[in-house]
Amino acid sequence: MEAIPGEPYRRILLILLAPIGDTLFATPAIRALRQAYPDALISALVFPTNRAVLENNPDVDELIVHPTRESWAGLRKAIRFYLERRAERYDLAVHMAPFHDYYGPVAGIPRRLTLPCPWLFWLLPHRNRRWRLQHARDHYVDVLRPLGLPVDDRRLVLKISGRQEAFAERYLAEQGHEGELLLGIHAGGAGLQGMKRWAPERFARVARELGEEVPLRLVFFGGEQDRALSQAIVQAGVPNGHIDTCGQLSLSQAIGLLSRLDLFIGNDSGPLHLAAALGVPAVGVYGPTNIMNFHPIGQRVRVVWGAVPCPANYGFVGTRSLWARQECRGECLASVEPAQVLEAARDLLFGSGRWGARTLDLSDVNAAL
C-alpha cells in the first residue's frame, strides 16, 4: 500500500540499488525524509559499488549491502537475506528505481513510496514534457510527493571524513605531489556499452594545451578496465608527470582524492558527478545522454556537447519508450571539439568568460534549484 501523510514512520528502508550518480541525485530526497522523521531509523539498501556515496551521509543511520553476482552465496543465503529484512520490521519502503518495487512487499514492509513512472513507460511514449526534461534529482524528490513533504534544499549531500582527507594527503605525498595544479581526468564510463567515452587523444590535447599555460599534474580516475584509456592519453603526449589511480583505489579513497583536485574533466559518469558534488570545478563531456536529465550538479560546472545531436538521446527512465529508441552511432561525441572543452576548462581555472554555442554554464541554474 502507498504511504500516506501523517503516519509516524519509525523504521524506513531506502532501496538504493542504483549507479553512483543516481545515488547522489537521491540525497536531497533522503535529507527531506530525515527532516520529516528526525527520530526514525533510516537504513539504505545499496550495492558495494555505490555504498561509499552514503557512508558519511548524516541522514542515513545504517547501510545494508545487497549481495551481487560476485558475492552470490547460493539460494539459501539469498532467502536468509530477505528474511533478515522482514525481521527488522520496517514500516516504510522507499523505492528509488522502478525495477526493485518487489523488494518492499517481499520484505514484508506494509507501506511504500515508488518512483512515479508513467504507466507502461517501457512501451508507451510519454507525452509529459515536464517529465522528459526534469533532472533525475527532481524525479527522486517526486518519490516523496504522496507524503506532502517540502523539499526546499535540493543541494546534493556528499560528505568527506577525516579518514578520507588523511588518505588523500598521504597518497599525494607518496606520489611526489609538490603543489602543481591537479587535473583529474576520467576517460571511461561503463554505461551504454562505452558510448559515453570521448576519444583519449582529445583528452590528451586538452591536457597538453592547459599544461602549456600552467604547471599541472594529471590524475586519472576509473576502474581497472579504464587503465588502457589513461595509458592511451599519456602516449598521445601530456604534461610531464601523472598519477594513474585506475583500478588502484576504493570508491571511498577516490572520493577523498577527488576532493583535492583543482579541476576535473570527464565523461557523463560517476566520477564527474562526485567531483561536481564536492565543489570541484568540473567540465562534463556529453554525447548520447540527455543533458537536462543528467547534468552534473555543483557550484562550478560546465557541460560541453557537440554539433551532431544523438539520435538515441538516452534520458531518465520513462522519457522514451524502448521500442522508439534509436542507437547511438558515436557521431555525437565525435563532434565535441577539444577547443570547446579547453575553453570551459580555462574559464573555470582563469575566469576567461568566453562561451561557445555548445557550452553551458550550469552554476546559476544549479544554485536556483
What's the pLDDT tens digit per position in 277-320? 999 999 999 999 999 999 999 989 999 999 999 888 888 876 66
Whether residue 323 is predicted with pLDDT greater than 80 in this model: the reply is: no
- Where does 68-199 have alpha helices with state H? 75-87, 103-106, 129-133, 136-142, 162-174
Domains and CATH numbers, the chain: 11-147 (3.40.50.2000), 162-368 (3.40.50.2000)
134 or 25: which carries more pLDDT confidence? 25
pLDDT tens for each residue of 39-52: 999 999 999 999 99
CA–CA distance, 337 with 316 (Å, rounded to integer): 26
CA–CA distance, 145 with 123 (Å, rounded to integer): 25
Give me the DSSP letters along 47-96.
-TTTHHHHTT-TT-SEEEEPP-TTT---HHHHHHHHHHHHHTT-SEEEES
Question: pTM score, two decimals?
Answer: 0.91
User: Which range among 70-74, 229-233, 242-246 shows the weakest confidence by mean pLDDT?
Assistant: 70-74
Under DSSP, the state recorded for 360 is E
Under DSSP, the state recorded for 212 is T
User: Which range among 31-40, 237-246, 253-262, 291-300 shows the weakest confidence by mean pLDDT?
Assistant: 237-246
Q: What is the mean predicted confidence (pLDDT) over 64-81?
A: 77
Task: Work out the angle between the directed axes of helices 251-258 and 162-174 (0-180°, nearest 10).
Answer: 80
pLDDT tens for each residue of 94-135: 999 777 788 888 889 999 999 887 666 666 555 566 777 889
pLDDT tens for each residue of 138-196: 999 999 999 999 898 999 999 999 999 999 999 999 999 988 999 999 999 877 777 89
Q: Mean pLDDT, the chain, as a whole number?
A: 88
- Residues of the chain with pLDDT > 70, as a percent, come to 88
Q: What is the mean predicted confidence (pLDDT) over 55-66?
A: 96
Whether residue 366 is predicted with pLDDT greater than 50 in this model: the reply is: no
How would you class 53 by CB atoms within 10 Å of its CB: exposed for 0-12, middle for 13-18, buried for 19 or more?
buried
